[in-house]
Structure 1
Amino acid sequence: MTRIITLFCIFIAQIGFSQTAESYLEKIRNNEALLTAFFQQMPKGGDLHHHFSGSVYAEPLLERAIAEDFYLNLETMEVSKTKPEKGNWQTFSSLKNNGKLAQYEQQVMQTWSAKDYNGSVPSDDLFFDSFMKFEPTIAGHFAEGMLELKKRAISENVSYIETQLSTIPCDMNISDLTDFNTKLRQAASQKDEKAVLKLLDELYKSIEKKDAKKYAEDFNNNFIAKLHKDLKIDDERFTMRYQNFVLRFMEPVDLFKNLIIAFISSNESKLTAGVNIVSPEHGENSMKDYWLHMVMFKYCHSKFPDVKYTLHAGELTLGLVQPEDLTWHINDAIYVAGANRIGHGVDIAYEANSYDLLKYMSKNNIPIEINLASNEFILKVKENRHPFTLYKEFNVPIVISTDDAGILRSNMTEQYVLLAKRYPDVNYEVIKKYVYNSINYSFIQDESVKKQLIKDLDNRFKIFEAKFSKN
C-alpha cells in the first residue's frame, strides 16, 4: 500500500512537471488576461494581410500634424499641409492658442481610428473614410512608420510582415487611351472574356510604349530598396517585404496601367512580394468592375507568370450588398483571376457552390487570410457567424493576420486571443500550424530567407515551450 501511494505521488509530480504549452492553453481558454499573456509571448510568425497606413497608430500621426502645424478641417477632422479653399480649416497652432487643441485632439483620434467608437457613424464608413483624413501625415514619413511597425512586431514576437506600403507614383499621360474605359466595360457587361483580353492586349502595348517600366524601376530602386536598406529593416529578429497594390475605385484604364506597373515592379525586385487590390469591395466601381478587375489580373499573370498575388475578396456580408452579390466574388478571384491567396473571404458561405470552392482551395493550397478583429468591426461578423470554422472544416490553409491594427486599435496578439477564446476546438498544435503557415505561404521570393525564418521560428517555439516544461 505504501509503495502504491509513493508511485501515485511520483506520477502526480511528473504531471506537474510535464505541463505543456498545449495543456496550459486549455486551462486558460476563458481568461482573456491569461490568454493575452500567453499569446503575447508565443511566436506568431508573419502578418500577411497588412496595410501600412492603417497599421500605424493615430497618436504619432496626430503628433506629426501638430508639430508641422497642419490645417485641420473642424467638421471632418481631415488634415492638410496647405489651407484648402473650401471648408472650415484652422491650424493646430491657432487651436492651441484658443485653448481648443485638447478638444479637437480627442475628435481626431475618434475619427482616425476606432478609439472610443460608439456607433455614431457606420463602422465601415469610419474605417474606410479614415485613410484619406490622415494620409497627408504619411507622405514623406514612411521611415518613421516602418520603424514603429518593426519595433511593435519584435515586442510581440512577430518575425515577418508583408505590408502594402504605397501605391507606385505615376504621371504617365494616358488621355489618348480613355476610349478603352467604355470598350472594356461594354465587353465586361457581356462577360466576353475573349474580347476583354484582346482589348487589354492592345492597351498593354500602348502602356508599354509609354515606358511603364521606368516607373517600376524608380519605385523599386529609389523608394523601396532605399528605405529598406537605409533603415536596416531586415535583421536577425525581423524581416519585411512589400506588396504592390492598386485601387478598386479607379477607372479601368488607370487601374490597368497601375496594375501593369505593379506587376513589373514585383517581377523585378525580390523586396516586392506580389500584388494586391484594395479599397471598399462594396464601392460603386468595385462592384461594377469586379469581374473586369479579375480578368485584368489573369492577363497580367500571363505576362508575368512568376508574380504572386493575393486578392481582397468576399469582404462582404448580408445587408451590406444585395444577396446575389455575395455569391461570386471569391469564385471569380480564384477561378478567373487565379489568386494565390484570398484576403478576408467572409462571404464564403453565400458563394455559389461554396463546398466545391472550399475543396478547390484546399486541394490547390490557396490560403485564406483571416482577420478576426477587422471583420468584427467593419462587417459586424464574429464568432459562429464568421466562416473561420467553415474554412477549417474543409482544410483550407489558414493564416491569421491583423489587416489595419492602427485604425482598429488592435495587434497580432489580440487576433490569437480572439481565435482561442471563440473557437475552443482549435488546439495549440493547430494554432502553431497557422503560425508556420504565415511563413510557408508568404510571398517571399528568396527561398533562403524563407528557410531562415522557419528555422528561426523553430528556435523561438523551442524557447517558448520550454517555459512550460519547467513549471
Structure 2
Amino acid sequence: MRIITLFFLLLAHLGFSQTAENYLEKIRNNEALLTAFFQQMPKGGDLHHHFSGSVYAEPLLERAIAEDFYLNLETMAVSKTKPEKGNWQNFSTLKSEGKLPFYEQQVMQTWSIKDYNGSVPSDDQFFDSFMKFESTIKGHFAEGMLELKKRAISENVSYIETQLSTIPCDMNVADLSDFDSKLRQAAAQKDEKAVLKLLDELYKALQQKDAKKYATDFNTNFIAKLHKDLKIDDERFTMRYQNFVLRFMNPVDLFKNLSIAFISANDSKLVAGVNIVSPEHAENSMKDYWLHMVMFKYCNSKFPEVKYTLHAGELTLGLVQPEDLTWHINTAIHIAGANRIGHGVDIAYEENSYDLLRHMAKNNIPIEINLTSNEFILKVKENRHPFTLYKEFNVPIIISTDDAGILRTNMTEQYVLLAKRYPDVSYATIKQYVYNGINYSFIQDASVKKQLLKDLDARFKTFEAKFSKN
C-alpha cells in the first residue's frame, strides 16, 4: 500500500507535462515503482499459458489436505487412493502425528519453485512437479479457472488463452501399432512424402474408430459446460482454450490425440487452437521432433482454419548437443507452418537465423516471450536471452507467463523484468506488446476480438490519464 501511495504522490509533484512514457523512464531501476506502474497498466492477453502450471500450489495443497489424500513421503506426489508401492501416508495421519507443517513445506518446495535451492536441476524441478500434484486438479477445473480469472482481473489482464486439458480418449489403437515403426523409419530418412502417405492411412483408420465423438464430447460436456456454468466471459475478462498433445507419446498415440485435437478446435469457437507440450529436450521429443512437425502439417491440410502455436527452441547450449539447437524453430515454421512460436530461446543458434527472423517478421509470426520461465528452466536471461534479437528484426513480440503457479510469478512481473532488463524498450513499444496479446490471439469470433481491443483502448485511456494530473 505504501508503494502505491508513493506512486501517486510522485505523480502529483510531476506536473501537467508528465506522461506514462517519461515517468517509466524515471523509474527504470526501481522494481517497487515498476511493479506499481505495471500492476495498474492494462496487459492485454496472456497467450502462452498452461492451466495446471498456472494455479498456485497453496489451493492445491489445501484441497489435498481437506480431502485427505495420500502423500508420498519421498517424492511429495499425492494420490486420492493409496498406491500399492511406495512410502505413502494420508494427511490426517501426518496431522495427528504433528508432522503436517514439515511436509506442507516440503510439498510447496516440490510443487513449485518456492525457496528453490538448486538441490535438483532446475528443469527437473519444473517439469517433474506437474505429475506430483496432478490428482488435485482432476475434478476441480472450475476452482482453478475462477482463481485464474480473479487474479487476471486484479492485475488488469483482460484475456487468457490457456491449455486447459488433454482430450480424454480410450480408443484402442493396438491394431495400428505397426505405424509406429513405419513412421519412424520414414522420418529417419526425412522422407516427408512417405510420412504423409502413412499419416493419411492412419488418419482414415482413426476416423473409422469414430475419432470425432471424442472431440464432440470434450467440446460439449467439458469446455462449453465449464465455460458457460462459470460465466467465464464478462465485461472484464475473456478466456479461450488451446488443445494440446504430449511430446513423449509414441507416434500412433500422439497422432490420434493430435487428430482429435484438430477436430475439436475446428468444431468449437471456444477452442482457439492446438499446441504440443512436454520437455523439448526429452528423448522422444528429440527423436520424433521432425515427425511431429510433419503431423501438424498433415492436420493443417485437413483443417486449414485451425490455428496452432508450437513450443519450439526451448533449448540452450549444454542442455542438448550444439547441432540440436540449429533446426527446431526452422522446422516448426517451414514444415509445420506454426502461426506462433512459444519460447524460441535457441534462435541465435538456428541455421540461417537472420533469414528465419526476417521470415517471421515478414509473415507476422509472433514469438511468445516467457522471461521468468526461461530464466529458471534454461538459466537464460538478460543479454543471453534472444529478446533483443527478435526485437531488432521486428518480429512481433508477445509477453506471457508460461506457468505462473509453479514459477511463483505473474504477468506484472514479466513486464517489470522487461522494462528493467531492456531499457531501450520504450513505453510505446511495451504498449504494442500488450496489444499484440489480443491481435495475435487465436480468438475465432471477430466481434470478441474487436470488443477486447476496444476495451483495451478505454483501459489505456484511463491509465494514461493518471499521469496528466497534478
Local SS of the residue matching 1:366: coil
- Quick check: 2:274–2:308 contact (8 Å CA) kept in 1? yes
Local SS of the residue matching 1:309: strand
Query: C-alpha distance in 2, partners of 1:70/1:111?
Result: 16
Query: C-alpha distance in 1, partners of 2:435/2:102?
Result: 45
Query: C-alpha distance in 2, partners of 1:195/1:158?
Result: 45
Report the counterpart of residue 255 of structure 2 in structure 1: 256
Report the counterpart of residue 102 of structure 2 in structure 1: 103
Query: C-alpha distance in 1, partners of 2:59/2:82?
Result: 22
1:353-368, aligned counterparts within 5 Å? 353-368=352-367
Query: C-alpha distance in 1, partners of 2:15/2:448?
Result: 39
Local SS of the residue matching 2:15: helix
Query: C-alpha distance in 2, partners of 1:18/1:223?
Result: 52
TM-fit CA distance, 1:466 = 0.2
Report the counterpart of residue 172 of structure 1 in structure 2: 171
Query: C-alpha distance in 2, partners of 1:456/1:201?
Result: 44
Query: C-alpha distance in 2, partners of 1:176/1:447?
Result: 43
Report the counterpart of residue 401 of structure 1 in structure 2: 400
Report the counterpart of residue 49 of structure 1 in structure 2: 48
Query: C-alpha distance in 1, partners of 2:163/2:426?
Result: 31
TM normalised by structure 1 equals 0.97
Report the counterpart of residue 93 of structure 2 in structure 1: 94
TM-fit CA distance, 1:18 = 1.6
TM normalised by structure 2 equals 0.97
Local SS of the residue matching 1:237: coil
Runs of 4+ in 1 over 4 A off after TM superposition: none
Local SS of the residue matching 2:118: coil
Report the counterpart of residue 384 of structure 2 in structure 1: 385
- The Cα offsets for residues 286-312 of structure 1, whole Å up to 9 and x where unpaired, read as 000000000000000000000000000
Count of aligned pairs between the two proteins = 459
Query: C-alpha distance in 2, partners of 1:275/1:182?
Result: 25
Query: C-alpha distance in 1, partners of 2:101/2:13?
Result: 58
Matched to 1:400, the amino acid is I
1:176-195, aligned counterparts within 5 Å? 176-195=175-194
Structure 2 segments unaligned to the other structure (5+ residues): 1-11
- Quick check: 2:15–2:469 contact (8 Å CA) kept in 1? no
Report the counterpart of residue 9 of structure 1 in structure 2: none
- The Cα offsets for residues 21-73 of structure 1, whole Å up to 9 and x where unpaired, read as 00100000000000000000000000000000000000000000000000000
- The Cα offsets for residues 162-204 of structure 1, whole Å up to 9 and x where unpaired, read as 0000000000010100000000000000000000000000000
The percent identity for this pair of structures is: 88
Report the counterpart of residue 32 of structure 1 in structure 2: 31
Matched to 2:235, the amino acid is E
Query: C-alpha distance in 1, partners of 2:121/2:37?
Result: 33
Report the counterpart of residue 445 of structure 1 in structure 2: 444
1:78-227, aligned counterparts within 5 Å? 78-227=77-226
Query: C-alpha distance in 1, partners of 2:15/2:74?
Result: 60
Query: C-alpha distance in 2, partners of 1:84/1:237?
Result: 44
Report the counterpart of residue 21 of structure 1 in structure 2: 20
TM-fit CA distance, 1:16 = 2.2
1:426-437, aligned counterparts within 5 Å? 426-437=425-436
Matched to 2:378, the amino acid is L
Query: C-alpha distance in 1, partners of 2:122/2:43?
Result: 28
Report the counterpart of residue 302 of structure 2 in structure 1: 303
- Quick check: 2:19–2:468 contact (8 Å CA) kept in 1? yes
TM-fit CA distance, 1:14 = 12
Query: C-alpha distance in 2, partners of 1:270/1:414?
Result: 31
Report the counterpart of residue 230 of structure 2 in structure 1: 231
Query: C-alpha distance in 2, partners of 1:94/1:328?
Result: 52
Query: C-alpha distance in 2, partners of 1:270/1:178?
Result: 33
- Quick check: 2:46–2:400 contact (8 Å CA) kept in 1? yes
TM-fit CA distance, 1:245 = 0.1
Q: What is the root-mean-square deviation in Å for CA atoms of aligned residues?
A: 0.9
- The Cα offsets for residues 410-451 of structure 1, whole Å up to 9 and x where unpaired, read as 000000000000000001000000000000000000000000
Structure 1 segments unaligned to the other structure (5+ residues): 1-12
Local SS of the residue matching 2:299: helix
Local SS of the residue matching 1:270: coil
- Quick check: 2:42–2:459 contact (8 Å CA) kept in 1? yes
Matched to 2:362, the amino acid is K
